């Protein structure tokens, strides 16, 4: 069984940033550490984005450490640009991802270093890793051990197994779309899809599409479907137009709120869960045209459509409930797709209200009991962190989240690191998480 000092799970932005940082600290890819990717080629979750999500709509892409993102035409599909960029990045730094390979589970190895008998220090089995400081670090990893060693056993869906001293999880959220349970959801005779299933607006030509969710993905899709399909917008609460400035300080404030929540062991809210919909002219014009007008939320589904329930009374109700929405790039970056929602895909308030004219015009809920026949239910209700493969490590608290010691370190295990979780689930945060995770890995390994 091959053994590594560290295994990174996920080759999106956070995974690549972590791999680069480990390389810059002297570890050798595919020898000292292994980067595992479930995708067949570079690009992370970006490679699955729809072609109409152009670089311009994605508000450009974040730089990875050591290699700036290339300049590209704003009309280029972001999925193509990012896949090419990530591929070039992997080649430049010789990161050698192991793909396609999906991790089924990560388990503590019995009788070896675990969360209970290891507290960040190297044990007897690791002593030879520091015996000769002049020895190349590539010799520290062993690939022909008759028995597994290290802290963890990593099992792939294929059945292949590796052992590792540390784990960096950078799996993001794309593979865990969230759709809320609504009574009758299984009886609908039309098509249901989630954000991650979207391909092109033309697929819905001539159909009546019910777009569900109050984040920026829903807003962008409503505009994209205009003139191609009939659309209805469903949100649990009034769309939250806010005049908050989406600047650096805003981002820091948002991350701090998410950090406080995660550090206490609560499930992570989205990174931009305290923001609203920016009052850009294109959105306000769409409100005037009747495109961005929410009809409230349905509470039952049948074979032909949905039935609406009692509507929330105002946008300020949403503020107290704290459901999430997105910022400008909410539907576009590596972890952005999951930033849309926490529980019900609706907007929460963070700044000053634009005024009753805009927010009121966008909130015209149907009377309770109204039945709406639709062909398609399009769920833009967010994503959850992909963490099921870590279940054997028992990282979760009773609150449902993971108590964190810092932005990347779960309190339950000093050799597991989460890059792109909680406050680092953003384009800027993912790169920062890679740097922090690599530093923590080296500290634990004593290198």
Residues 284-309 pLDDT 10s:
999 999 999 999 999 999 999 999 99
Letter string b/e over residues 416-443, b meaning 16 or more CB atoms within 10 A of that residue's CB: bbbbbbbbbbbbbbbbbbbbbbbebbbe
More confident site: 28 or 352: 28
In this structure, the number of other CB atoms found within 10 A of the CB of residue 406 comes to: 12
Q: CB-based burial of residue 339 (10 Å sphere; 0-12 exposed, 13-18 middle, 19+ buried)? A: buried
> Is there a single domain that holds both residue 301 and residue 358?
yes
Give the domain CATH number at 415: 3.50.50.60
Number of domains in the chain: 2
Range from 17-21, 58-62, 142-146 carrying the lowest mean pLDDT: 142-146
How would residue 427 be classed by pLDDT, with cut points 50, 70 and 90?
confident
Q: What are the two backbone dihedrals, phi and then psi, of residue 45, each rounded to the nearest 5 degrees?
A: -65, -25
Residue 371 has pLDDT above 60, yes or no: yes
Contacts of 28 (CB under 8 A, 6+ apart): 136, 137, 138
- The pLDDT-based confidence of 56 (bands split at 50, 70, 90) is confident
CA distance 174 to 217: 14
pLDDT of residue 39: 98
Establish if 242 belongs to a structural domain.
yes
* Pairing, β 305-308 against β 298-301: antiparallel
Quick one: 60 and 133 in the same domain?
A: yes
Q: What is the pLDDT of residue 23?
A: 98
Q: Which of the listed residues 343, 363, 379 is the one where a domain comes to its end?
A: 379
> What is the number of other CB atoms lying within 10 angstroms of the CB of residue 170?
34
Residues 60 and 162 in one domain: yes
**370 and 285 share a domain?**
yes
Question: Omega into 100 within 30° of 0, i.e. cis?
Answer: yes
Give the per-residue pLDDT at 425.
75
> Does residue 57 have a pLDDT over 60?
yes
- Let me know if 146 is exposed, middle or buried by CB neighbors in 10 A (0-12, 13-18, 19+): exposed
Q: Are strands 371-373 and 305-308 parallel, antiparallel or unpaired?
A: antiparallel
Average pLDDT of the segment spanning 107-132: 47
Specify if 343 maps to a domain. yes
Same domain, 62 and 91: yes
CA angle, residues 153, 266, 237, in degrees to nearest 5: 125
Which of 379, 406, 435 is where one domain is finished?
Answer: 379
Rounded to whole angstroms, how far apart are CA atoms 269 and 382? Answer: 11
18 shares its domain with 91: yes
3-state helix, strand and coil shares in percent for the chain, rounded to the nearest 5: 30, 20, 50
Could you tell me if residue 222 is inside a domain?
Answer: yes
Condensed to tens digits (0 to 9), the pLDDT of residues 338-357 reads 333 333 333 332 333 344 34
How far apart are the C-alpha atoms of 60 and 47, rounded to whole Å?
15
CB 173 within 8 A of CB 199: no
With respect to residue 278, please indicate whether it lies within any of the assigned structural domains: yes
Q: Tell me: do 227 and 351 sit in the same domain.
A: yes
pLDDT at residue 249, as a whole number: 58
- Residue 167 sits in the same domain as residue 200: no
pLDDT of amino acid 187: 98
Residue 43 pLDDT level (bands cut at 50, 70, 90): very high
Mean pLDDT over the full length of the chain: 81
Does a cis peptide bond (omega within 30 degrees of 0) precede residue 59? no
Give the residue-averaged pLDDT of 310-318: 56
The range of the structural domain enclosing residue 169 comes to 2-174+385-445
How far is residue 228's CA from residue 202's CA, in Å, rounded to a whole number? Answer: 7
Q: Same domain, yes or no, for 392 and 368? A: no
Same domain, 127 and 247: no
The mean pLDDT value for 412-425 works out to: 90
Query: How many Cβ atoms from other residues are within 10 Å of residue 141's Cβ?
Result: 23
228, containing H or E segment: none
* 293 lies in the same domain as 314: yes
Mean pLDDT of 105-114: 77
Residue 262 forms part of a structural domain: yes
**Pair 314, 334 in one domain:** yes
* Residue 207 is assigned to a structural domain of this protein: yes
Residue 180 located in a structural domain: no
* Residue 320 in domain: yes
Could you tell me the two tokens for 145?
């051990």
Question: Token pair 């009309």 is at which residue?
Answer: 75
pLDDT of 60 reads 67
Q: How many CB atoms are closer than 10 A to CB 97?
A: 24
Last residue of a domain, one of 356, 379, 402: 379
- pLDDT digits 0-9 by tens, 171-229: 999 999 999 999 999 999 999 999 999 999 999 999 999 999 998 899 999 999 999 99
């Amino acid at each position: 069984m091959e053994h590594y000092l560290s295994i990174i799970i996920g080759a999106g932005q956070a995974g690549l940033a972590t791999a680069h940082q480990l390389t810059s600290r002297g570890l050798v890819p595919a020898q000292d550490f292994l980067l595992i990717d479930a995708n067949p080629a570079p690009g992370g979750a970006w490679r699955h984005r729809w072609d109409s999500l152009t670089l311009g709509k994605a508000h450009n892409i974040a730089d990875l450490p050591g290699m700036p993102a290339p300049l590209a035409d704003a009309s280029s599909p972001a999925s193509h640009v990012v896949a090419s960029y990530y591929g070039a990045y992997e080649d430049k730094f010789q990161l050698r991802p192991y793909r396609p390979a999906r991790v089924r589970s990560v388990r503590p190895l019995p009788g070896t270093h675990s969360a209970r008998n290891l507290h960040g220090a190297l044990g007897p089995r690791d002593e030879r890793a520091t015996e000769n400081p002049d020895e190349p670090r590539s010799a520290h990893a062993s690939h022909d051990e008759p028995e597994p060693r290290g802290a963890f056993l990593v099992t792939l869906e294929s059945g292949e197994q590796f052992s590792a001293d540390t784990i960096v999880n950078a799996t993001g959220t794309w593979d865990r779309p969230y759709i809320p349970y609504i009574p009758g959801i299984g009886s609908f005779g039309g098509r249901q899809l989630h954000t991650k299933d979207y391909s092109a607006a033309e697929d819905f030509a001539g159909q009546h599409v019910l777009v569900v969710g109050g984040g920026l993905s829903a807003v962008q899709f409503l505009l994209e479907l205009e003139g191609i399909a009939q659309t209805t917008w469903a949100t649990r609460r009034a769309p939250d137009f806010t005049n908050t400035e989406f600047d650096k300080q805003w981002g820091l404030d948002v991350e701090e709120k998410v950090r406080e929540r995660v550090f206490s062991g609560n499930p992570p809210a989205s990174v931009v869960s305290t923001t609203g919909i920016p009052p850009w002219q294109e959105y306000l014009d769409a409100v005037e045209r009747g495109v961005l007008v929410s009809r409230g939320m349905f509470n039952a589904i049948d074979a032909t459509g949905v039935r609406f329930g009692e509507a929330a009374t105002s946008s300020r109700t949403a503020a107290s409930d704290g459901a999430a929405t997105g910022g400008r790039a909410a539907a576009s970056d590596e972890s952005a797709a999951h930033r849309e929602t926490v529980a019900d895909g609706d907007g929460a308030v963070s700044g000053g209200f634009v005024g009753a004219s805009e927010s009121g015009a966008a909130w015209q809920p149907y009377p309770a009991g109204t039945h709406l026949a639709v062909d398609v239910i399009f769920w833009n209700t967010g994503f959850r962190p992909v963490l099921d493969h870590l279940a054997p490590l028992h990282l979760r608290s009773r609150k449902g989240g993971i108590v964190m010691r810092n932005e990347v370190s779960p309190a339950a295990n000093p050799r597991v690191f989460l890059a792109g979780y909680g406050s680092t689930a953003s384009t800027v945060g993912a790169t920062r998480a890679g740097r922090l995770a690599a530093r923590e890995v080296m500290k634990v390994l004593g290198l």
